[in-house]
Amino acid sequence: MLTLERVTKRFGGLTAVREVSLEVRAGDLLGIIGPNGAGKTTLFNVIAGYYRPDEGRVLFDGHDVTGRPAHAISRLGLTRTFQIVKPFGNLSVRDNVMIGALTRLAGTREARAEAERVIGLCGLGPHADARARALPLGLRKRLEVARALATHPKLLLLDEVMAGLNPTELGGMIDLVRRLHADGLTLIVIEHVMAAMMRLAQRIVMLHHGERIAEGTPREIASDRRVIDAYLGEEFVLADA
Ligand SMILES: Nc1ncnc2c1ncn2[C@@H]1O[C@H](COP(=O)(O)OP(=O)(O)O)[C@@H](O)[C@H]1O
Ligand SMILES: [Mg+2]
Residues 145-170 pLDDT 10s: 999 999 999 999 999 999 889 999 99
Cβ < 6 Å from ligand 1: which residues? Answer: 11, 14, 16, 34, 36-42
Lowest mean pLDDT segment, chosen from 81-85, 169-173, 201-205, 220-224: 81-85
pLDDT at 225 (0 to 100): 85
195: confidence class by pLDDT, cuts 50, 70, 90: confident
Question: Which residue's CA lies nearest to atom 11 of ligand 1?
Answer: 16
pLDDT at 82 (0 to 100): 76
3-state class (DSSP) for residue 172: helix
CB atoms within 10 A of CB 131: 16
End-to-end CA distance of the chain: 36
Q: Give me the mean pLDDT over the 11-15 stretch.
A: 96
Question: Which residue's CA lies nearest to atom 12 of ligand 1?
Answer: 16
Is the Cβ–Cβ distance between 100 and 151 less than 8 Å? yes
Domain 2-77+153-240, second-level architecture: 3-Layer(aba) Sandwich (3.40)
pLDDT at 235 (0 to 100): 55
Would the pTM count as exceeding 0.85?
A: yes
Q: Is the pLDDT of residue 193 over 80?
A: no
Helices (H) and strands (E) in the chain, counts: 10, 10
CA distance 157 to 165: 18
Could you report the per-residue pLDDT of 37-89, keeping only the tens digit for each?
A: 999 999 999 999 999 999 999 999 999 999 999 999 999 999 998 766 677 88
Of the residues 32, 42, 211, which should be mutated to test ligand 1's pocket, given the most ligand atoms within 8 Å of the CB? 42
In percent, how much of the chain has pLDDT > 90? 77
pLDDT at 84 (0 to 100): 67
How far apart are the CA of 39 and the centre of ligand 1, in A?
Answer: 6
Ligand nearest the Cα atom of residue 205: 1
pLDDT at 124 (0 to 100): 96
How far apart are the CA of 177 and the centre of ligand 1, in A?
Answer: 26
What's the chain's average pLDDT? 91
Question: Which residue's CA lies nearest to atom 3 of ligand 1?
Answer: 11
pLDDT at 241 (0 to 100): 41
Q: Which atom of ligand 1 is nearest to the CA of 12?
A: 4
Give the domain ranges of the chain.
2-77+153-240, 88-152
Ligand nearest the Cα atom of residue 159: 2
pLDDT at 238 (0 to 100): 47
CA distance 107 to 41: 33
Alpha helices in the chain (DSSP H): 40-47, 70-76, 93-102, 108-121, 137-149, 167-182, 194-200, 218-222, 225-227, 233-240
Q: Which atom of ligand 1 is nearest to the CA of 36?
A: 23
CA distance 144 to 82: 7
CA distance 152 to 163: 24
Lowest mean pLDDT segment, chosen from 56-70, 92-106, 224-238: 224-238
CA distance 144 to 142: 5
Strands 2-11 and 55-60: antiparallel
Is the Cβ–Cβ distance between 34 and 225 less than 8 Å? no
Q: Which atom of ligand 1 is nearest to the CA of 34?
A: 22
